[in-house]
Structure 1
């Protein structure tokens, strides 16, 4: 495979079959620089993780999850046929033409919302080919090839994800969260619909400034902080 090309300050690391999320967390815990892109590109799945070094408390830094989601949508949108629709779940899921094709996970240490993390990692996993030929048994699950994206190559998609994510990190740094909110609100799945999250049921009304889910029920309105969807260090 041709060497991958990333923007300045980003360095690629092929994990050669090891889980990139676990690999990236281990490297981050050992003190690696931010901008490490750990990746494992298989024939059937794209797995990659980005290492960040936040300078704000985790409650604010967790905006990297929706930023990485926007970056992915922009990247696939630039490479896939124009009729392909990409949407994002609040909790990190990625939907292509309505079917779940993968998702994003976020890990941070320490995981306290009020503390500045020593490091943070956002991991991406995307199905390139369906796990089973019997796709009719799982109509809500899909893969890139199943949605007419056979010409989208995993290396190019990974490179584009990093580039577009960097663009949105820069916009957030310069203009604050408002542009991120505006872009993300047009991509989020299930807005205005009934949903269940962390044992709570209600209507997904939107997000607060820090991307906490606003969940409205007959009794009251609750906000689920985005830090509640943190994944434990693998």
Structure 2
């Protein structure tokens, strides 16, 4: 299947097999100095996992919305390939919602976590279950789903991967050319739990409050009582390998 994955110009692929983790592999390749545009992927029978390497030329704070571009890119890609009745929404921490249930996530890592310094690289990862982990006990976790459980069994994973990269690139280019306004407008229409109470297990204890939206850098605004606090997008960064 790996030889059927097509990427836009300046992007190139690295296929993995078995249990190899593309997110970890992409970080390792970035640390060794690989070119930006590398897409590491593992198209298994039960899940799609992939990661893209970027080399931003701006401080980390300004580069972090690449995660939002890739999230919208995935929503657009799946929306174009899935039946029209399939709804795809996005949680601020990276969780993907398909028909309201959790169905995979996006992740992000960078060469450092200093918002004011330019990173050497950023890696955005995608994890998407195709079949439920508890296939023998359906319904045991009703808030979790898998792509093929939601009427998407005819979608080829290589097509979805190609579309994710292509649609993400569209939004990254728009962000660079037009700023964050188009990204903000598109994302607000796809955001899950906007204006609702959230419980995000990003730390201990979890981050809770009413999700009011984002600031100009896509930091999350959470209100608890009379207090509104900001979670910067860098709060989602994971440690390097």
- How much does 1:201 deviate? 2.7
Report the equivalent of 1:141: 144
Distance 2:42 2:88 in 1: 22
Partner residue in 2 for 1:12: 13
In 2, the alpha carbon distance for the partners of 1:61 and 1:53 equals: 9
Partner of 2:27: 25
Q: Distance in 2 between matches of 1:5 and 1:201?
A: 41
Q: Which residue, 210, 214, 225 being the options, matches 1:203?
A: 210
Across the aligned residues of Structure 1 and Structure 2, the Cα RMSD in angstroms comes to: 1.0
Q: How does the TM-score come out when normalised to structure 1?
A: 0.97
In 2: Cα distance, 1:145 partner to 1:200 partner: 31
Return the alpha-carbon distance in structure 1 between the equivalents of residues 93 and 115 of structure 2. 17
CA distances 1:107-126 after superposition (whole Å, capped 9, x unpaired): 00112111111111000000
- In structure 2, list runs of 5 or more residues that go unmatched: none
1:82 positional shift: 0.3
Name the structure 2 match of 1:160.
Answer: 163
Report the Cα distance in structure 2 between the residues aligned to 1:206 and 1:41, rounded to whole angstroms: 34
User: By how many angstroms is 1:3 displaced?
Assistant: 3.1
Alpha-carbon separation, structure 2, partners of 1:164 and 1:41: 19
Name the SS of the counterpart of 1:111 in structure 2: coil
In the TM superposition, residue 216 of structure 1 has moved relative to its aligned partner by 1.2
Aligned to 2:228: 221
Q: Structure 1: give runs of 5+ residues left out of the alignment.
A: none
Normalised by the size of structure 2, how large is the TM-score?
A: 0.95
Residue 16 of structure 1, CA deviation: 2.2
Task: Please give the alpha-carbon distance, in whole angstroms, between the structure 2 residues aligned to 1:196 and 1:60.
Answer: 26
Is the CA contact 1:45–1:128 (under 8 Å) kept in the aligned structure 2? yes
SS of residue paired to 1:60: helix
Whole-Å Cα distance in 1 between the matches of residues 34 and 209 of structure 2?
41
Contact 2:8 2:166 in 1 (8 A): yes
Tell me if structure 1 keeps the 8 A contact 2:47–2:128: yes
1:59: Cα distance to partner?
Answer: 1.0
CA distance in 1, matches of 2:169, 2:213: 25
